[in-house]
Amino acid sequence: MILVCAPIIEKAQKELEEKIDDIITEKFTSGLVNTVEFFNVEDMVNMAESLISITNLQRHITSSEETVGGPIDVAVITKADGFKWIKQKTTR
């Protein structure tokens, strides 16, 4: 009986995981991706720094290996200006 049900359970689990991924994409990811398209350079810089800070906090809280954080170098590359430093950490 268990052997017969296993493929059904695995299929249901896979379908549930796909549905959850679709909901996450629809409710959270799509909105952010569509909004970023209209960000100016300053907003993009702020978002990038925030994502690094959030990742650092998440790694710190979950006791994962802390591979993100500390002073951050920020640069922007645009067609008009090319490479431009926004913020450079100081080395001592």
Render 2-70 in DSSP notation, one character per residue: HHHHHHHHHHHHHHHHHHHHHHHIIIIIHHHHHHHTT--HHHHHHHHHHHHHHHHHHHHHTT----S-S
CA-based nearest residue to 75, from 64, 89, 90, 86? 86
How confident is the model over 20-28, as a mean pLDDT?
89
Residue whose pair of structure tokens reads 């549905």 in the numeric block: 19
Name the region of 7 (left: φ>0; alpha: ψ -120 to 50; beta: rest): alpha
* Digit-coded pLDDT (tens) for 5-16: 778 888 999 999
How confident is the model over 36-52, as a mean pLDDT?
89
User: Model pTM greater than 0.95?
Assistant: no
